[in-house]
Chains A and B, each alone.
Chain A
Amino acid sequence: MIFRTTLAGAVMAVGLTGTAVAQDVAVITPYLAQPGTQFYVEGFTAQAEELGWTTNVIDTAGDVAAVISRIEDVVTQGVDAIVINVDPAQVGAGLRTAADAGIPVVGMDAGSDPLVAANITSNGYAMAAETAVYVANRISGEGGVVMFTFDPFPPVQVRGVIADAVFANFPDIEVLDRITPDVSDGGIADSRAQMEALLAANPEPGSIAAVWAAWDQPALGALQAIEAAGRAEEGIVITGIDANPQARDAIAQGGNFEASVAQDFQGIGAATADTVARLIAGEELVQRVIYVPTQLVTSANVGE
């Protein structure tokens, strides 16, 4: 079991704090089955191991109320710090219990909350800016752009806002449509259908210059639609965000899907561990959201 390492403080660790006190940290998430979360946890436990901590990774299998229950349990148990990977607004009851007991809680891509000492995540604004600017530059600042966004989900909503701003700044770029796909089946199928409709409405080659998607699934759906319509040769530029394996494959093939942005999940995990170390050492954190750098993925570096 790679997610759980029990290294009772024997190692003389060289952590950021320089101290060698064995710490007891609980990582609680309902989403351990999801690939991203597994990478966070891997990064965290690797770093924690180096610091000589005892880490207890708790998965509640999708049950958010159980996250509260488990926070209460580890508070009773008397851990030194708690790391959560769930929206803090949903586990407020648990956060308050931890705060009452004076146990710091750190968010690992969790969201901001007064009761969370710090949240370590990727910069959604920056990611959106990177792909939007990539698109603008690739089409030389002119042509029709299709946007796929999803405003009901805040972390994705901010990406759309940034892309809006970037495209608005190029007078010759016209946003043809701003589509909110139905995501109940992952988003690929509905995005494809919507894109097919748009392609039919804009039959002129070159009338659609680019597709900017706030995450990878709509980008993949748009790619399928373009290929199916036989318009792959028009040079429509597609970008996504997250760089999931399917998106990486598409980018590696060198087709229309040209770029996405990879979050450094392991880095988020490691930075979370570092942040916990600073908190335990007694440091007051001024910056309560800590961003871990992301990387633009194109055909040039997709193999790495």
Chain B
Amino acid sequence: MKVLDVQRVSRSFGPVHALRDVSLAFRAGEVHALMGENGAGKSTLIKALAGVDRPDAGSLMLDGAPVPWGSPSAVQAAGLRFIHQELHPVRGLSVAENMYLDHSYPTRLGLVNWRTLNEKARAALVRLNLGHIDPRAPMSDLGAGDQMLVRIAATLIHDAGEEAPWLYVMDEPTAALTGEESEHLFSVVDELVKRGAGVLYVSHRMPEVLRLSARVSVLRDGEHISTRPLAETDQARIIHDMTGRDLGGLFPSREKPLDPKAAPVLSVRALRAGPLREASFDLAPGEVLGIGGLSGSGRGALLRAILGDLTREGGEVQLDRKNLARHPADVWSQGIAYVPRERASEGLMLGRSITENIALPHLSRFARGGYFLDPRRQTGAADEKGQRVRLKRASLHQPCAELSGGNQQKVLFARALAGKPRVLLLDEPTRGVDIGARFDLYRIIRSLSEEGIAVLLASSDLLELIGLSDRIAIMQEGRLTGIIDADGLTEGSLLAQFYETVDEDQAA
């Protein structure tokens, strides 16, 4: 059985010790999770393994034979494969061609043999139970999840004389995936392990780690804190190792009970828009209404329909008993704020400063006479809201690209708060956010709700839904089919609700 030994690795950047004397061993045939907060040293370790960064000290051994640092090709030859969260698929080429990008195409008489190409690609896909993906389809037809699975299947293709890969390094593989896509990935991981491969699995997502791993290692501040078989550890223990402190529960509880007699701040009746086919509910001031459902059930569509980004085709939406405007610009100004799902592509101007990003929807309010900018008022507001969301930053003029995922998300929260909203629409607010920042966000959501701001929280994270929401709306195939009390729910019972066939159709 193959073993990759990382021995006494250290790496520092100036005065910062990114890795201090870390030793770890990764074996074939098991999933080994690597956890830690941002800055714990996970990325540095993975870059060292990938051969793109060279450690200051330490060695890398494959079954006792040294593998040189700083050589991606040596690592490749040693049988490692890296699956990153950022995919760079060639969208215009077919699935099969994408799988053959770093191999030579099979040819006949000097011309590409398309039949063999597609057959080999299909064979590789089928070996990972991915028969649903057509190798001839254009890559652009695939979702992010399938694109990643194609990338993994591509590692099963190797040229003659090349050794088969045995250790897969997956860095936040589910960051851009929906729940359903993630399930596909997990079964592929299971399949790889069954075939004898090892997986080094890096993730912030506790449920995934608990589900997949045989062994969990934790890094903190560049040091190796623990490595334990899954049987000997649990969520609380891992969080303790990661943060160095005990945490009284993941989710801050509600201190101030909701006023049961309060008039709803937001009423939605028979709303229809694009993929959203029907939704009706009332939202009380200060209430957190979770929106749960399988991927593709219309969670995000519901938020976008309220925002006016999806054109409403029917039904009505009232804010404080007045009809809500139909365009995002007006909806924002009426007191609804939105934090989009895709931070980078839908939320932030990554190259622009924190201040600019926070002020974006509120420029007119910060301007003298509505037109002429007042930079002091902008930075003032950005500073105040930044502190409110515990934004960790060097300067307000720093570009957002320099911030961690969690802090980028906080910038979006600060933006939402800067307009003094009545209702907050949150789409996957903690996706790809590390555990420390996640607690900060949970606390912010809780305290906002206690100030009376109503929150619509669409999330694929079941624990998050149960822990934060007062009630949870269940979405199924574009319809809001029911609203249940979050008290006493478990992940399993909530998930069961998602799958439950609703008798509505039969009843009607």
The answer to whether A and B touch in the complex, with CB atoms under 8 Å apart, is no
